[in-house]
Amino acid sequence: MIQDTERGRLLAQNLVELLAPYEEELIQIEHDAPAFGPLRRALGIVIAEACYCISDTPSPQENLVPPADDAASRTR
């Protein structure tokens, strides 16, 4: 499961890196040819979804619960 999550994040990161330059170029093209606007927006949505996948899932190494023997737990 952890490997699947990390693999998914890596794929999403690669997708963002691959598509970002195309989005920038489509932004420039859209100024002269507004018909490319829907394509640029669709690409932007794909990039946004990939970014969501990267940032939404907490890293498997993150431990959001403090250890039971930390300083705060000992004072209770």
Span 45-50, average pLDDT? 93
Q: CB-based contacts of 15: which residues, under 8 Å, 6+ apart? A: 46, 47, 50
* 60 phi and psi angles, rounded to 5 deg: -65, -20
The yes-or-no verdict on residue 69 having pLDDT over 90 is: no
What is the reported pLDDT for 5?
A: 83
The yes-or-no verdict on residue 61 having pLDDT over 60 is: no
**Residue type (1 letter), 20:** A
The yes-or-no verdict on residue 2 having pLDDT over 90 is: no
What sign for the dihedral angle of Cα 32, 37, 40, 44?
positive
